[in-house]
Amino acid sequence: MTPPDDPNGSGYFGMPSFLRPVEFPPPSATVQVTFGADSRRGPSRSVNEDHYIVLRLGRYQETLLTSLPDDAVASRFDEYGYAMVVADGIGGGAGAGETASHLALATLVYLVRHFGKWNLRVDDAIAREIMARAERFYRHVDSTLVYQRHKGAVRAAETTMTAIFGAGYDLFFAHVGHSRAYLCRDRRLMRLTRDHTIGRKATAPVRTAPLIDVNAAARDLKHVITNTIGMSGLVGPTIDLERVHLSDDDRVLVCTNGLTDAVDEPLIGEVLASDQPPDMQSRALVDLAMASGSADDVTALVGRYRFPQ
């Protein structure tokens, strides 16, 4: 009910429109995301060389004391962003791959926590800033692995790393290697990332930096990977960065090649398009990969995004 002493009958005591409480919060305050994750060691492996993390980044405003009425200022306002990251270690034995993927994710989380701006309201300028910062973080993670290897702290270890970050309707990804990110919309599966490999059809571009020896450093691969975090060479890895727009009920998958080498994309799409919750979908995908007889480690992260009307 409009207060009797409100001259404009607006409920805001004559407050100018640009100062009134926001009627429609930004999407980052209303998006609802549920996640699932599963990761299993390959049957022939002594240790799982995959690592993953799912993060929620948030900020809030809380009213502690005020003379304003309840309908003029909310007691609390929250908004969030969400991230999923996988890293698939590629090592020279003795757990070197597991060490590399562990170090890469731990370094990335440290950088986000201490140097990230946690942008949750995205326009074109902020989008460019987010992607530039993601590239800097990836470069720093890469240099950390190279430095630790030169110190002798880790063996000749490298890793893939694929990260997605969503704030409201905006979804960003940063990608190096042959792990993948997918978007499932209206029962259609779309691959967001490209494999940095010389594949069976040799369609991927070949980098000038030295390739990784498939027999020594990537014994688990069915193809030669050309781009990793921690790779040798002066130029460092190519980092793919992109921004896409989310819709209501989109499902996003981030996974290692242990899944995609073993399970065809049409079947992956069927699982993601199902009505199962993300935790069951992630388990189902890993189950399919394991049932195929694959010896590789398998990791699948699934996020489902809802935008209430």
- Total domain count, the chain: 1
User: Tokens at residue 34, please?
Assistant: 């549920």
Alpha helices in 43-123 (DSSP H): 96-115
**pLDDT on residue 64:** 93
Asked if residue 147 lies in contact with residue 84, where contact means CB atoms within 8 angstroms, the answer is no
pLDDT by residue for the chain (309 residues), tens only, comes to 444 444 444 444 455 555 555 555 688 888 999 999 999 999 888 899 999 999 999 999 999 999 998 878 888 889 999 999 999 998 766 678 898 999 999 999 999 999 998 889 999 999 999 999 999 999 999 999 998 888 776 666 799 999 999 999 999 999 999 999 999 999 999 999 999 988 544 333 333 233 333 333 333 445 678 889 998 777 889 999 999 999 999 999 999 999 999 999 999 999 999 999 999 999 999 999 999 988 899 999 999 999 987
Q: For residue 9, is it within any domain?
A: no
Q: For residue 35, is it within any domain?
A: yes
Asked if residue 295 lies in contact with residue 45, where contact means CB atoms within 8 angstroms, the answer is yes
**pLDDT on residue 223:** 61
Q: For residue 281, is it within any domain?
A: yes
Asked if residue 6 lies in contact with residue 12, where contact means CB atoms within 8 angstroms, the answer is yes
Domain region containing 132: 31-64+72-306
Count how many Cα atoms sit within 13 Å of the Cα of residue 184 in the half-sphere of its side chain: 23
Distance CA 72, CA 46 (A): 60
* Residue indicated by tokens 């490298």: 158
CATH number of the domain that 186 lies in? 3.60.40.10
User: 190: which residues sit within 8 A by CB, 6+ positions away?
Assistant: 182, 183, 184
Asked if residue 212 lies in contact with residue 224, where contact means CB atoms within 8 angstroms, the answer is yes
Asked if residue 239 lies in contact with residue 196, where contact means CB atoms within 8 angstroms, the answer is no
Q: For residue 19, is it within any domain?
A: no
**pLDDT on residue 147:** 87
Asked if residue 148 lies in contact with residue 142, where contact means CB atoms within 8 angstroms, the answer is no
Q: For residue 17, is it within any domain?
A: no
Strands (E) in 168-297, as ranges, are: 170-176, 180-185, 188-191, 197-198, 224-225, 240-245, 250-255
**pLDDT on residue 151:** 77
Q: For residue 24, is it within any domain?
A: no
Kind and range of the H or E element at 138?
helix 124-151
Count how many Cα atoms sit within 13 Å of the Cα of residue 11 in the half-sphere of its side chain: 9
Q: For residue 134, is it within any domain?
A: yes
Q: For residue 23, is it within any domain?
A: no
Please give the distance of CA 192 from its chain centroid, rounded to a whole number.
12
Inter-CA distances, 294 with 49, 52, 298, Å: 15, 20, 9
